[in-house]
Amino acid sequence: MSVEPTTSNELVKSVAGVVVAEMSPEDVAHFEASAEDYFGDRLGALRSIKAADEPLGFGIEVVGVALVQVVLYLADKAVDAAFPHLTETLWRRLFRSKQAGVEPLTAGQIDATEAAARSAAKQIELSPDLTDRIIPLIVARLAAIGRP
d(CA 104, CA 91): 14
Q: What are the residues whose beta carbons fall under 8 Å from the beta carbon of 25, sequence distance 6 or more?
A: none
Confidence band of 101 (pLDDT split at 50, 70, 90): low
Sequence-ordered list of residues with C-beta below 8 angstroms from that of 127, at least 6 positions apart, any chain: 55, 56, 57, 58
Average pLDDT over residues 23-35: 90
pLDDT at residue 3, rounded to an integer? 38
> Of the ranges 2-16, 24-38, 75-89, 117-131, which one carries the lowest mean pLDDT score?
2-16
Which tens digit of pLDDT belongs to each residue from 48-92?
Answer: 776 654 444 443 345 456 888 899 999 999 998 988 776 656 666
What is the pLDDT confidence band of residue 36, given thresholds at 50, 70 and 90?
very high
CA–CA distances in Å: residue 39 to residues 31, 34, 111, 139, 146: 12, 9, 26, 20, 25
| pLDDT at 110 > cutoff 90 | yes
Read off the pTM: 0.80
Q: Say whether 89 sits in a helix, a strand or coil.
A: helix
Of 5 and 44, the structure prediction assigns the larger pLDDT to 44
